[in-house]
A and B are shown apart, each in its own frame.
Chain A
Amino acid sequence: MEFKNTQLHQGDVQFFGIASIPSNAKKVEKQFIAKSERSGSFHALFGDYDMYEVEDGFIIDAKEDCILNHSLESLLKGTNVSLSEAKVLPKKDHRHSVIPKGVHFVGIQQRFDPLAGKKERVRD
């Protein structure tokens, strides 16, 4: 991946601008980028975009400026808002972010487990 100098983060979800969609990216249905089983919260992108899966995260091909929301699943269910609508939802903890039109790699921040000697995704 060729990284460009566009970087945004919402908590532990981090977006990095890239030049193009990697050849190994597999197109998938739009879905939550991250979800907390414990709190019922999620990070998800809302708007006109295509989503692809890669080994360490997702590729987002945003056709317009999209909205990254951190909200609660229970709240989303009550709104009837779909992932295809660039709408701001009531926040859980983190403010919404505007993800600019373009191609982005998105992944989760990592922590180091000194007892295991390896990195793993941050969990909340």
Chain B
Amino acid sequence: MKTLEDLTPEIRAKIPLYKDRARNDLYSGEEYKNWKREDCAKYVEYVYNLAKRDLKPVVIIADSPSQYKLFWNLIFNDRINDDTYKVIDQILDLKNGKKIDFDTSLIKGMNPQLVKEFASELGMELDPGQEVPVSEKLFEQCKQHYLFLMSEYSRVYLTWYAFINREFNLPLKKNQDHLDWLYDNVNKASIAKGFFCEKVVLILRMPSKIIRNKIGFHSAFEPAIQYPNEGMYYLNGRKMENWVFEDYEKGTLTFEKFNKEQNEDIRAGIITLIKEREGNEGLIKFLGAQVVDEQTVVHEGGYTETLKLYKTKQKFPELQNSKGEYNQQAAWIYMVCPSTGQSYLIDTCPLFKDAVECAKWHRPKGVPASVPYLWQSAN
């Protein structure tokens, strides 16, 4: 039996390598670029075979979340699905060696994107002709599928299994070759989500780009999760509604809108967005902050420094002070770097009234307030 004591520094040092393998090409978009449909379909069929399913399923792959939703409804929604399942039955038979004549009349008027998937499974060209659009009303009434039977975290689990299996030298008594194959091919399959049924599997591909910070999905400049024609905005791991970014780009993200917003995550997101795009100066302007204290300190050698303490008039429910109390004003200490001339607005605790005391508080942890704020050299 292996225990945590077997996790030597050498083995621990390999964890980042496994993480990098799971993430780097996915985040950068290399994985999306190099993806091949047959690798993905082969992976699904391998899993069905491993699960001792007799039939190879029909694999339908969506390139984006919106296409996934469209396909799901076209295949599984009773109000919309008419001939779709007949087509799936026929493809299923053909994929599994039955000799039948595929009835191409069934696909006439179907959604061409879905027909393209059928064609890929059949390995032949199919022409759906003129699409007969499904009425918006049916889509409005349709059931929403949001429970996935496989998620992007499957790769995370598989990576940990492989790490334990390989680095602790714990070979499986059976199925070792399957674990190896699944791990070796999981990135190529590039599956974000999968809805597995007896005859048909609906897959959503991994995104074309992912942007994160140390907290989670994060980008103040573009969608943090991207597919070629759509994306999802996140700030510090929190999902942001599109209007936040759209309004910002249009210049219509006003303080009044911010004030009316009740969702704390969205409010915090707006603050983060403005701060990352325009710096603290932009945020001060947006929030309408003013100087509450200004002092000039003469340091040794005659160098003078002007410190300013800014606060907003208004309190914000999502902001805390250093005591952890919510509903506080936003506050900043203004300093200028003597070497570069760069102005800094550093977020501070709104409890301060004195700019010099505030500047002392920002010194490194462990320096007591009794040490005067007086530099012999500042560069």
Contacts and interface: CB of A to CB of B under 8 A. Distances in A.
B278 interface: no
Output the residue of B268, B318, B337, B368 with the most chain A CB within 10 A.
B337
Contacts, number: 112
Contacts of A36: none
A78 interface: no
Contacts of B319: 114-115
A67 to B, nearest CB: 11
Nearest to B342: A93
Interface majority SS on B: helix, strand, loop or mixed?
A: loop
A111 interface: yes
A95 interface: yes
Contacts of A107: 363-367
B322 A109 contact: no
A11 interface: yes
Interface stretch (B38-46, B133-141, B200-208, B344-352): B344-352
Interface in B324-341: 324, 328, 330-331, 337, 339-340
B82 to A, nearest CB: 51
B356 to A, nearest CB: 14
Interface of A: 1, 3, 5-11, 14, 16, 54-57, 70, 93-98, 105-119, 122
11 contacts: A7-B371, A8-B377, A9-B377, A57-B365, A70-B379, A97-B377, A105-B364, A112-B348, A114-B319, A114-B328, A114-B330
Interface of B: 268, 271, 318-324, 328, 330-331, 337, 339-340, 342, 346-350, 361-368, 370-372, 374-379
